Amino acid sequence: MKRKSIISLTIFLSIILLSCAPRVISHGNFVEKSQAESIVKEKYSQDTIIELIGNPTFIDTRDNQELWFYAFYKIKKHLFFPEEYQHQDVFVLKFDETSKAQSFKYYDSSKIQDIKLSETFTPIEEEEINTFKTIFSNLMPYSGAIPKDNNF
């Protein structure tokens, strides 16, 4: 009986200790510098790049120049403690007029702040909400019964 208690206690403590181990969470597409250099050197097309490393995190088309951004980061998390960023990379790929890879920039954790973000934003058209629509939208599910042009 004593032996079963010791085994049970050992298993229980092992489970408790293992649950305290940190979790490492990775997000995004990791692109190595050597891979980025070969993409530009071979002048890969956008379709080929998507096949190789996946879709970009976001695309910027300012100044008639298409830029693809690939962001990757790794987070370490302990139970209920705040997350710690372990590693962060951003790979920016620039295309020429024929949609072939032209050049790239690689930003690691120490140079992330060097990325220049746009100060402009895209305006969003907000829908005007009137009292009639507010009252009756709560009473019936919306199925196009209320006209969108708000001419009541």
Summarised one tens digit per residue, pLDDT across range 70-81 is: 888 888 887 777
Nearest-angstrom CA–CA distance, 13 and 21: 13
Exposed, middle or buried: residue 14 (CB in 10 Å: 0-12, 13-18, 19+)? exposed
Closest C-alpha to 84, from 21, 20, 22: 22
Q: What is the pLDDT of residues 35-92, one digit of tens each?
A: 888 888 888 889 999 998 889 988 888 777 888 988 888 888 877 777 777 778 888 8
What H or E segment, with its residue span, contains residue 14? helix 2-19
The pTM assigned to this predicted structure is 0.59
pLDDT at 151 over 60: no
pLDDT at 150 over 50: no
